């Protein structure tokens, strides 16, 4: 065996299994953050749609209060779901970092 092979074997023996998955560790958290961003984008688009539905197409003089309530509910629920997803992803990342340090 040459020196390069011996060094590779030595590194293989002393390698920490936790260190091998540095790049793939946060796949679930990254996916959760992407889902949170999609939820936020869809919620904002839904709120804009509800805003246009508040006003009848014939005239902008009349106003539908049910549309305003729907608009507010869509916005608030979107922000709550987005916030919860972000918090869960951050908690998971933090727990993984703490686990690596132990």
pLDDT in tens, 44-64: 999 888 887 776 666 666 667
Residue 4 lies in a domain: no
Rounded Cα gap, residues 75 and 60, in angstroms: 22
Residue 2 lies in a domain: no
Q: What is the pTM of this model?
A: 0.68
79 has pLDDT over 90: yes
Is residue 92 domain-resident?
Answer: yes
* φ, ψ for residue 26, nearest 5 deg: -105, 25
54 is in which domain, residue-wise? 36-102
- The answer as to whether 27 is a domain residue is no
| Non-local CB neighbours of 10 within 8 Å, separated by 6+ positions | none
What total of structural domains would you count in the chain? 1
> Given a cut of 60, is residue 65 above it in pLDDT?
yes
Q: Is 102 a member of any domain?
A: yes
């Amino acid at each position: 065996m040459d020196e390069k092979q011996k060094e590779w074997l030595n590194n293989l023996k002393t390698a920490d299994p936790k260190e091998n998955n540095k790049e793939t560790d946060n796949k679930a958290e990254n996916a959760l953050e992407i889902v949170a961003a999609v939820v936020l984008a869809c919620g904002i688009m839904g709120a804009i749609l509800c805003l246009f539905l508040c006003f009848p197409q014939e005239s902008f003089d009349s106003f539908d209060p049910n549309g305003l309530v729907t608009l507010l509910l869509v916005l608030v629920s979107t922000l709550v779901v987005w916030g919860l997803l972000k918090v869960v992803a951050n908690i998971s990342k933090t727990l993984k970092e703490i686990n690596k340090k132990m």
